[in-house]
Amino acid sequence: MTSTRITVKGERPYDVVVGTGVLAELPGLFGEGVRTVAVVHPAGLPEIARPVCGVLRSAGYTVVELPVPDGEHAKSVEVAAELWSAFGRYGVTRSDAVVGVGGGATTDLAGFAAATWLRGVEVVQMPTTLLGMVDAAVGGKTGINTAEGKNLVGAFHPPAGVLCDLATLVSVPRDDYVAGLAEIIKGGFIADPTILLLVEDDPEGARLPEGRHTRALIERKIQIKADVVGADLRESGLREILNYGHTLAHAIERVESYHIRHGEAVSIGMVYAAELSRLAGHAGVDLVERTRSILTSVGLPTAYRREAWPELRDHMRVDKKNRGAKRRFVILDDVAKVTRLEDPPEELLEAAYHEVAR
């Protein structure tokens, strides 16, 4: 099957290459002059880095393998500092490059390390999970977590390219794959109703890497991300729509100490955002019902613990969309009709959570 190239426009345009068995296209994503490539990958998954390193060595690059902790545990200042030290030891210069291979946490970390080393070296992202392909690795947002919240330390650093080899999805654990669907479904609600129709047409197939709509769903979600970040890299306006459902989701992740999958938290967060849209008088009950129906049909959660509200409320006060003391929420008037809710009253926020709580 041929590859698809989706261009992310802006001040530093780059391509997202999507296809099956497209690893050979990796060297073509680097700029001129690259000699050393640092490959950052999860320590528990050396097999995903092995073919990447092989292709790079065959193309004449000096390859440095840098394993990091799996999942969100990689996104800490301590791990970032270890990468900076390794870059120094192995002589990674400003004309060299970093490749992030793995899930969204790995590509976030690799991008942040590249953005901050020598004030910015080239990075190519190779997401190997559904979530990484449709969200984390595309868009140039990099970051690490702190005790105060998720992705609060980071930089905007567009990659030189992104390579999505769909063949890697076959080995992704089913629960992880299903969690990645939340970001695709979010794309349907904020921008592309066809995504929702494809999932509703075949929810069981949507749960499979081999589903008949899988490639279309992935490419459509990447195109949404490309269109949005190409117009607004630094989240000064339009890009905020990508945070639909994320205000509560990030708070849930903090409460769970990141032991919940990002997509599962986003799924719950979308139900909360839909309920908030309804209670604020922006959307009808049909939006809420369709949100719950689609998420449930693919096996994603739609509820969370009632007693967690005080802690969740406190964490939401540190959300990146907030301006000063004012809280901001991305909500919907309807499917693909996004708006913002500025500083809603506490009673409204709690009432919306009451609809989500078990």
75 has binding-site annotation: yes
pLDDT band with cut points at 50, 70 and 90 for residue 163: very high
Q: Above 90 in pLDDT, residue 150?
A: no
303 and 345 share one domain: yes
For the ranges 245-254, 264-273, 316-325, which has the lowest average pLDDT? 316-325
User: At 146, phi and psi to the nearest 5?
Assistant: -130, 175
Domain endpoint, select from 117, 141, 171: 171
Q: Above 80 in pLDDT, residue 192?
A: yes
Instruction: Tell which phi-psi region holds residue 247, choosing left (phi > 0), alpha (psi between -120 and 50) or beta.
Output: alpha
277 and 264 share one domain: yes
Q: What residues have CB less than 8 Å from 115, skipping those under 6 apart?
A: 123, 142, 155, 156, 157
187 has binding-site annotation: no
Instruction: Kindly give the interhelix angle for 346-356 and 262-279, rounded to the nearest 10 degrees.
Output: 120
94 and 217 share one domain: no
Q: Catalytic positions, please?
A: 119, 141, 183, 225, 235, 239, 243, 246, 250, 262
2 has binding-site annotation: no
322 and 222 share one domain: yes
What's the chain's average pLDDT?
95
Q: Above 70 in pLDDT, residue 123?
A: yes
Sheet holding 161-165, edge to edge: 4-8, 14-19, 161-165, 122-127, 97-102, 36-42, 62-68
Q: Which residue, chain included where needed, has tokens 């001040």?
A: 11
Q: Does residue 255 contact residue 276 with C-beta atoms inside 8 Å?
A: no
**Predicted structure pTM score:** 0.93
Comparing CA positions, the residue from 306, 307, 314, 300 lying closest to residue 254 is 314
Domain with 246 in it:
174-356
70 has binding-site annotation: yes
Q: How far is the C-alpha of 75 from the C-alpha of 85, rounded, in Å?
A: 16
CATH number of domain containing 42: 3.40.50.1970
Q: Above 90 in pLDDT, residue 294?
A: yes
Q: Report the b/e string of 255-289 with b at 16+ CB within 10 A.
A: beebebbbbbbbbbbbbbbbbbbbbbebbeeebbe
11 and 74 share one domain: yes
330 and 239 share one domain: yes
Q: Above 90 in pLDDT, residue 194?
A: yes
229 and 116 share one domain: no
Q: Does residue 154 contact residue 134 with C-beta atoms inside 8 Å?
A: no
Domain endpoint, select from 118, 146, 171: 171
71 and 200 share one domain: no
317 and 240 share one domain: yes
Q: Does residue 352 contact residue 272 with C-beta atoms inside 8 Å?
A: yes
107 and 190 share one domain: no
Cα–chain center distance at 192 = 17
Q: How far is the C-alpha of 20 from the C-alpha of 185, rounded, in Å?
A: 22
105 has binding-site annotation: yes
What would you measure as the largest C-alpha separation in the chain, in angstroms?
61
186 has binding-site annotation: no
